[in-house]
Every structure is written in structure tokens, then in C-alpha cells.
């Protein structure tokens, strides 16, 4: 009898794939790993992983139910071409869009919209507050993603720490979460989570267990929902010292962390019965 698949859900940006600015290569140029470009934008290379990570990821995708799990919109996700077979499932918009063989699942989106409407202030109110309180001196762009959440692109060195703190408190009173990732500030409804969509994929596939990885506050719920998780030595969670008993905090940073995360996934896939607990993985 064929065993049910192990589900591997991973954040993408600054977890598996990295922009040139986020590579954080900690070795001399002559020893730098060879990189594979997996995303272009406006005819320019944008995101990379190591060639070693690419080969390991292709192997992982062949052995597990690999589910890219991202805050990116569908259009932004569509620019990425990961090695290995095209995933049957992908999660975009922080859990707001569940793609099945590349197509959005309308029933899932309807469920998400109902949960948000029942528990959160309207998106229009949140967006208006963001635009009204942001300073043009550091605001570069403001965007709405999939009619689900809003985000700002900012000049990080000019951004006052108190502004983010004040926004976080204001948003929480209205059922929203704030996350600062690089140059982007996200305002996301609290019911809009990656974990909810991953649990739905696990239900549909009959997965025996869930492995996960992520670097930001918006990945915390995903890591907590997994049987075993990993976070890199950089990012929002690392800066906050965030931890959980079943989540390994890696020392590696940048693209080296991405490679180590795929290695850890493969070790977990090789021993799914050891996916839970302190087994030395990662």
C-alpha cells in the first residue's frame, strides 16, 4: 500500500530564493557558490538560489508534496521558475489564494473572504490609514494585493521605528497584523494565514506530516502548524529571537541558509517518522 505523502511547505523570498541584495555571501569571491536565477523581472535577473540547492529542491519535489507558500500575489509568484516538476499546489497572497495545478480555487477564496469579513476591519480603512500616516520622505510605493491586504515599499534607513510600532498596535485593535520585511511593510488580516491554506492542502492530500520553513512574522503560524520547522539566521523571526520547541533556528544566513533548509527538508523526507522531536535535523 502506497504511503501518504509528506507535505513540505516553504516560504520563498529570503527563505528559499534570494535577491542579489539578500544573498549575504560570507565567503571570498573565489569560493562563492554558483547561483541559478529562478526569477526575472522587466528582463532583469531578480532572484536566485545556489545550484546545489536547485538540484536538491528538484529531488525534494519528486519525493514529497512540495507546496510553495508565499505572500506574493499570483502574478508575482508566476515569475518564479523553480527546478523540478511544477507543484500541484501553491499558496499565494499569504494564504488567500490556493492554486491547484496553477488555477485559483474559488471555494477556498470564498472561505477566506468570509473569515476576514467576520473578524476584521475593512481593507479600505487600513489602506487609508497607511497612506494618511506615511511620510512621503520615506514612502516609495503603496499597493493592494489580491484585494486582500495592503503593503508599503519604503526607504528603510529613513523609516522611524516608532511608526511601525504605532501601526502594529493600531492594526491589532482592528484584527490586522503588521510585518516589516526588508523594504516592505505589510498589513494583513489576522485570519489570512499560510497555515490555514497548508492545513487544507494536507487534508486534500492525506499528508502524513508537515515540514515548513520561513523567515518572517507572517511565517510564524506556518512554522507552528508544522510537525517540524526551520528558520534562517536572518529575517524578522531571527531578529525577534522567535523560537518554538520543534523549530530549528539555523546559524546560516542568506542563500547559504536556503541551501541548508532544502537539505533539512530532504533529511526529514527520508525519515518522516522522525520529523517530530529533537532528532538533530537542520
pLDDT string in tens for the chain (282-residue length):
345 689 999 999 999 999 999 999 988 888 999 999 999 999 999 999 999 999 999 999 999 999 999 999 999 999 999 999 899 999 999 999 999 999 999 999 999 999 999 999 999 999 999 999 999 999 999 999 999 999 999 999 999 989 999 999 999 999 999 999 889 999 999 999 999 999 999 999 999 899 999 999 999 999 999 999 999 999 999 999 999 999 999 999 999 999 999 999 999 998 755 444 333 333
Looking at the domain assignment, is residue 208 inside a domain? yes
Integer Cα distance of 128 and 199 in angstroms: 32
Quote the CA–CA distance of 189 and 148 in Å, as a whole number: 8
pLDDT of residue 103: 97
Shared domain for 108 and 206, answered yes or no, is yes
The boundaries of the domain holding residue 131 are: 121-189
In this structure, the answer to whether residues 17 and 104 fall within a common structural domain is yes
**pTM for the structure as a whole:** 0.91
57 lies in the same domain as 155: no
- Domain-located, residue 181: yes
Same domain, 73 and 153: no
Clarify whether residues 98 and 211 are in a common domain.
Answer: yes
DSSP string, 150-184: EEEEE-GGG--HHHHHHHHHHHHTTTEEEEEETTE
**Distance (Å, whole) CA 208 – CA 220:** 21
- What is the pLDDT, as a whole number, of residue 211? 98
Q: Is residue 275 part of a domain?
A: no
166 and 247 in a single domain? The answer is: no
Q: What is the pLDDT at residue 207?
A: 94
Count: domains in the chain: 2
Residue 256, pLDDT score: 97
232 and 203 within one domain = yes
Amino acid at each position: 500500500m502506497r504511503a501518504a505523502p509528506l507535505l513540505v511547505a516553504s516560504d520563498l523570498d529570503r527563505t528559499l530564493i534570494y535577491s542579489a541584495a539578500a544573498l549575504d555571501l560570507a565567503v571570498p569571491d573565489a569560493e562563492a557558490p554558483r547561483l541559478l536565477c529562478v526569477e526575472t523581472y522587466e528582463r532583469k535577473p531578480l532572484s536566485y538560489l545556489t545550484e546545489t540547492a536547485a538540484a536538491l529542491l528538484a529531488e525534494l519535489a519528486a519525493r514529497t508534496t512540495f507546496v510553495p507558500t508565499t505572500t506574493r500575489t499570483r502574478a508575482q509568484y508566476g515569475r518564479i521558475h523553480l527546478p523540478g516538476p511544477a507543484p500541484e499546489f501553491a499558496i499565494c497572497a499569504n494564504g488567500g489564494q490556493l492554486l491547484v495545478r496553477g488555477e485559483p480555487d474559488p471555494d477556498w477564496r470564498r472561505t477566506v473572504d468570509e473569515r476576514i469579513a467576520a473578524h476584521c476591519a475593512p481593507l479600505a480603512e487600513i489602506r487609508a490609514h497607511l497612506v494618511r500616516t506615511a511620510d512621503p520622505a520615506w514612502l516609495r510605493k503603496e499597493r493592494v494585493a489580491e484585494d486582500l491586504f495592503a503593503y508599503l515599499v519604503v526607504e528603510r534607513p529613513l523609516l522611524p521605528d516608532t511608526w511601525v510600532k504605532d501601526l502594529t498596535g493600531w492594526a491589532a485593535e482592528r484584527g490586522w497584523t503588521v510585518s516589516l520585511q526588508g523594504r516592505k511593510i505589510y498589513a494583513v488580516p489576522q485570519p489570512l494565514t499560510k497555515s490555514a491554506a497548508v492545513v487544507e492542502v494536507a487534508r486534500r492530500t492525506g499528508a502524513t506530516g508537515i515540514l515548513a520553513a520561513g523567515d518572517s512574522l507572517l511565517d510564524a503560524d506556518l512554522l507552528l502548524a508544522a510537525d517540524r520547522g526551520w528558520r534562517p539566521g536572518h529575517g524578522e523571526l531571527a531578529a525577534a529571537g522567535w523560537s518554538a520547541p520543534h523549530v530549528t533556528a539555523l546559524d546560516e544566513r542568506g542563500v547559504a541558509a536556503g541551501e541548508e533548509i532544502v537539505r533539512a527538508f530532504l533529511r526529514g523526507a527520508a525519515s518522516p517518522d522522525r520529523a517530530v522531536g529533537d532528532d538533530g535535523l537542520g
